[in-house]
A and B are shown apart, each in its own frame.
Chain A
Amino acid sequence: MTAQQIIFMIVAAYTLGSALMVVTTRNLVHAALWLVSTLFGVAVAYALLNANFIAVVQVVVYIGAIAILFIFAVMLTRKDMRDSGPQMNRNWWAGAIVAVLVFAGLAFLLSGWSGFQNTAAELPAEFDAISLLGEALTSPQAFVLPFEVASVLLLAALVGAVYVAFNPTKK
């Protein structure tokens, strides 16, 4: 095994372990903090894939904004400091079976694909992924329209979130 493979194994084990804690831990604040840990592991995976910009956006947007929003939501919706009662359905074993079946089905489908064992080509010399991404996001021949639609979607979602969460009874 090369050094990169060992690093990938460590990152994958760390990320999947944190993800398991997210879905199984009883305390929701701890679950949100485990989510931060998972998202950080995913950011490292992006860095291993040479997607530097995506890795930075993962840390800034996911950990900096989304995870903090989750922690706020947990704190705003708890009756008291402890989480009483069961945190999982009575039929949690059925959910576990479905999740295992989905994983097995995905593994079976993917292993039948001819490109499954592909290895990555070396990046070309002087390769600048960030400027290529910037051109792709702003070029009319590429993705400028989806990019603008995404910004309108974000605006609509934020206005909608303010409207839904607004409490008119309190002045």
Chain B
Amino acid sequence: MVPLSWYLMFAAALFSIGLFGVLVRRNAVAILLGVELMLNAVNINLVAFWRYGDVTAMAGQVFAVIVFAVAAAEVAVGLALVISVYRRRNTVIADELDMLKW
């Protein structure tokens, strides 16, 4: 059987890769891709803690289902914002969206 530590390390690595994507990518859609990776890493942790704890307590899986719903909402609103910004400014590069800066 796989020890819990392997799943936790796997999720931590996936989270770090997603964080790297959020920090370094210039395209707003690519930043949202990184956020998706981070949400998936959290979900792996939740499901792993369900399996390695008390399997009759369903809190881990319920949390994972709610993370799915929140991720769907986040992507819908985030991509709508990106498309709206693209229409007005004709760019999706995060550096160039500085309307609030000055």
* Chain A interface (Cβ < 8 Å from any Cβ of B): 2, 4-5, 8, 12, 15-16, 19-20, 22-23, 28, 31-32, 35, 38-39, 42, 45-46, 48-51, 53-54, 57-58, 61-62, 65-66, 69-70, 72-74, 76-77, 79, 83, 85-89, 91-92, 94-96, 98-100, 102-103, 106-107, 110-111, 115-121, 123-124, 127, 129, 132-133, 135-137, 142-143, 146-147, 150-151, 153-154, 156-158, 160-162, 164-165, 167
CA A94 to CA B19, docked complex, whole Å: 12
- Residues in chain A near residue B68, CB distance under 8 A: 57-58, 61-62
Whether A115 contacts B36 by the Cβ 8 Å rule is no
Closest to B79 in A: A73
Q: Is the CB of A86 within 8 A of B1?
A: no
Q: B55, A38: Cβ atoms under 8 Å?
A: no
Residues of B within 8 A of A54 (CB): 43, 47, 61, 64-65
CB of A31, distance to nearest CB on chain B (Å): 6
- Contact (Cβ within 8 A) B75 A23: no
| Nearest CB in chain A: distance from B34 CB, A | 6
Q: What B residues does A103 contact at CB under 8 A?
A: 12-13, 15-16
Check B4 against A69 for contact (C-beta < 8 Å).
no
Partner of B12, one of A42, A110, A132, A136: A110
Residues on A with beta carbons closer than 8 Å to the beta carbon of B52: 115, 118-120
